[in-house]
Structure 1
Amino acid sequence: MASGSSPSPVSFPARGATVTLSEQEIRVTRSPLNSSLYPDVSRRPDELIGWYKQAPDGCSPGYIQLLFDAERPRVNFSPSHADEFAALDLQLTNLQAGYPLEAGQESAGSNTENSGSVSAAEWVSSAESAGGGDEGASPRKKQKRSPAPWAKVATPDEVPEANEEADIDGPIYGQTVCVTGDVEPYDKGEVWDMIASRGGVVAKNVTKKTTMLIVGEWPSVTSKEKRARELQSKGQVLQIIGFEEFLQLIK
């Protein structure tokens, strides 16, 4: 395989379905029996708004329901398939946050508080040394990386409501804002609260409605920034700013 090519898709078995993830696609393929009841789904990762989930516990089944604008496909997991559920949940987090799909696999299904997590700076440094730079960089020998600091950079489940009483002349008021990368020393939820408190609409993903993308530190260009620049090239008015610049704006 040529240097800099996209990683191979990763597939996750569920009950009556298979979920396949890549940097270009989220695909749900139903079994012949289930396909008569539910259609297959193929969507771009940047179209994923989020997902509802309930983990199987050995006695009760679980599910993951993917949330797109017009579709909400659900895949179910048998009570004994907790590992498969945890692996898919982790990789959806990777995909939405712009991480490599393999990042943090060793911690799937485990308590991250006890998994030897590292600081964001340490994880970014290890990713750089492992060859996680921009596309087209010279190949380097792959090294095992520690799990990413999920608590800080993972996408929270709940989106805060925009403060309608915020300063209407403020630079964030009325903007639809997405955040990508590491925003240390804050976690992403705290940055979302900063945006919402100043009248901004928080967006989990970059879409045609996004007007601002805040870019934190990351060893390579994230999928959200790639999507934002693609939309800019098509004429969308979308401002891309660094996290430090954002902090200056809201002072």
Structure 2
Amino acid sequence: MIAFLVSGLTFAQEVLLNGGFENWDDANSPTNFTKKENIEKESTEVHSGAFAAKHTGGTKDLGQTVAVTAGNSYTISLWYKTGTTAEGDTTNSRIWAYWKNDDGTIDDNGEELRGPSNSYFTDNTSTWTQYTTTLTAPETATNFYFEVRTYKNAVTYWDDFSVIDNGPSLSIKTNVIPGLTVTANNGTVNTNKGSIVAIYNIVGVQVANQNLAKGVYIITVKENNKVAVKKVLIQ
């Protein structure tokens, strides 16, 4: 038997790798980052742990692509500290991130994070500062490209990047596939429309659609450009 629930669940799963910059392939290449221009391993100016990333400008980028689930809520955050005036222009760094699908940037969401507020991070040479925001992945999103930029002669120290998957955003992505039904048989969830792209258990861990035990699950179904999120109880 399968029953639909309306109560809330809490999810929290980090999907960005090496956001604390503790692992490096070499002195200029933080592990897991695919874009790493003018980056140096930094051990003095750090927010936490042993290392941070020192970023020297000239419109230079530091970025990583992470897989996401359409309809899920994501909390994006980072810590930054601008360099002293002796190190260059201190007000020319920003986040430059966007949603992507399998074909590239999503047109309607291509400028999701050009900020903060389409501007630059403030001069904060005396203290580390956090930037954070929470967004919902669009219906066609399969990836999120997390990038920061440093411009001109500026120097920025980056640390503790994070992309937290909070799970399905039920308030805006619930059952938008007309006529969708969900059934369970022998520990497997089935749908009459679309395809199941993700199943989470009660503690927010993504699980395989096989031998599911009795309990509460969150199921995301996708059909073309439509997404439905179902919270279900398998009894």
Question: Relative to total residues, which structure has the larger helix share, 1 or 2?
Answer: 1
- Larger RCO: Structure 1 or Structure 2 (Cα < 8 Å, ≥ 6 residues apart)? 2
Question: Which band: TM-score by shorter chain?
Answer: under 0.3
Q: Please, what TM-score do these two structures have when normalized by structure 2?
A: 0.27
Question: Relative to total residues, which structure has the larger strand share, 1 or 2?
Answer: 2
Q: Please, what TM-score do these two structures have when normalized by structure 1?
A: 0.25
